[in-house]
Structure 1
Amino acid sequence: MPRKYIILLAVTLGVIVLDQWTKYLVVRELTTQMDGKETLGERLGAMYSEPPPQGFNGLHYQPKRHIEVAESFFRLRYLENPGAAWGMFRGLPPEARGPLFHVAIIGAVILITFNFRKLSGTDPEETWALWGLPLVLGGALGNYIDRIARAFVIDFLEAHWFDKATFPSFNVADVAICIGVGMLIVDSFVRKEKPAQAPTQA
């Protein structure tokens, strides 16, 4: 198997596993959803089965605590996002939101695959795209698993400034997407198309 496809599989699967594992830990430790579930199978069933109805706070899984990582700056808190990144489109009705995300993820996978196949995998100038594209793909698929399982994405990373200004909550998949997009932006500058040289006259 060519090296570039090993990178694609390793990075994409690595992001998906890390994303889903951290969400599992958040649901287990910060919500009541897995309380009383003794085995791993029972906990996974509680996480990936049809979620319970929304409670009075608008959440399906009820929080029991949050963790202050850096007081007044950063915390781990369970939240649910039925929309896209940073909560976009969360106001759309479910019957419109679902098909939109299905089309978006299929389009993203096709676009990423198309661009990745064009890479040689050996040109040092392709390094940013070689790693950036799998990061975006892994992040997109990680959040898509959430949407298929329960129609909302689990977010838990919350940056804030003394609770006066709060950055939209995010997760590991979102981080991978942002890093990947940043690398692709760098790639667009590194691999600028060189102007064609005029043929030399004899």
Structure 2
Amino acid sequence: MPRKYIILLAVALSVIVLDQWTKYVVVRELTTQMDGKETLGERLGAMYSSPPPQGFNGLHYQPRRHIEVSENFFRLRYAENPGAAWGMFRSLSPETRGPLFHVVSLGAVLLISFYFSKLSGSDPEEKWALWGLPLVLGGALGNYIDRIARAFVIDFLEAHWFDKAAWPSFNVADAAICVGVGMLLVDAFVRKEKPAQAPSKA
């Protein structure tokens, strides 16, 4: 197997596993969804199910607590996002939102795979795209798993400024996508198209 595809699989799978594992820990520790579930199978079943919204907050899984990592700047708090990154399109109806996200997610996977297949894997100038594309792919698939399983994405990373201003909640998949897109932007500036050589005259 070419080295570039080993990088693609290793990075994308690492992002997916880390993303799903952190969401599992968040559901287990910060919500009541796994209460009374003794086995790993029962806990996974609870995590990948989608009960109807409950309580006054309209959440499917009920929060039990949150963790203040830095009181004035950062906390871990369970949140649900039925929309895209940063809550975009969450106001759309489920009948519209579901098919839209399926098409967008699958389209993104195909586009990333096509672009990645064009890389040689041996050109040092390709390093930003070589690592950035797998990060975007892993992040997109991590959130897509959530949408298939329960029609909403679990977020839990909350950055804020003394509770006066807050960045929308996000997760590991979102972070991987942002880092990957940043690397692709660097790639666009670093990697230049080599001019085609003129045919030699006889």
The bucket for the TM-score relative to the shorter chain is: over 0.9
List gaps (5 residues or longer) in structure 2: none
Is 1:185 matched up with 2:171? no
Write the mapping of 1:133-148 to structure 2, written as runs, cut at 5 A.
133-148=133-148
Residues in 2 aligned to 1:198 and 1:6: alpha-carbon distance in whole angstroms: 36
The match for 1:46 is 46
Q: Deviations over 1:145-177 (max 9, x none)?
A: 000010000000000000000000000000000
Amino acid at match of 1:39: T
Matched position secondary structure for 2:194: coil
Write the mapping of 1:91-106 to structure 2, written as runs, cut at 5 A.
91-106=91-106
Amino acid at match of 1:133: L
Amino acid at match of 1:31: T
Q: Normalising to structure 2: TM-score of the pair?
A: 0.96
Write the mapping of 1:104-123 to structure 2, written as runs, cut at 5 A.
104-123=104-123
The match for 2:84 is 84
The match for 2:75 is 75
Residues in 2 aligned to 1:88 and 1:49: alpha-carbon distance in whole angstroms: 23
Matched position secondary structure for 1:76: strand
Contact 2:50-2:60 at 8 Å conserved across structures: no
The match for 2:30 is 30
* CA RMSD across the alignment: 1.4
Q: Which moved more, 1:185-194 or 1:2-11?
A: 185-194
Amino acid at match of 1:14: S
Contact 2:16-2:173 at 8 Å conserved across structures: yes
Q: Deviations over 1:93-144 (max 9, x none)?
A: 0000000000001110110000000001111001000000000000000000
Deviation of residue 71 (structure 1)? 1.1
Deviation of residue 197 (structure 1)? 5.5
List gaps (5 residues or longer) in structure 1: none
Matched residue pairs, number? 202
Percentage of matched positions with identical amino acids? 86
The match for 1:149 is 149
Residues in 1 aligned to 2:200 and 2:35: alpha-carbon distance in whole angstroms: 76
Deviation of residue 198 (structure 1)? 5.6
Residues in 2 aligned to 1:49 and 1:58: alpha-carbon distance in whole angstroms: 16
Q: Deviations over 1:48-103 (max 9, x none)?
A: 12324332101110001000001110000000000000000000000000000000
Residues in 2 aligned to 1:52 and 1:96: alpha-carbon distance in whole angstroms: 19
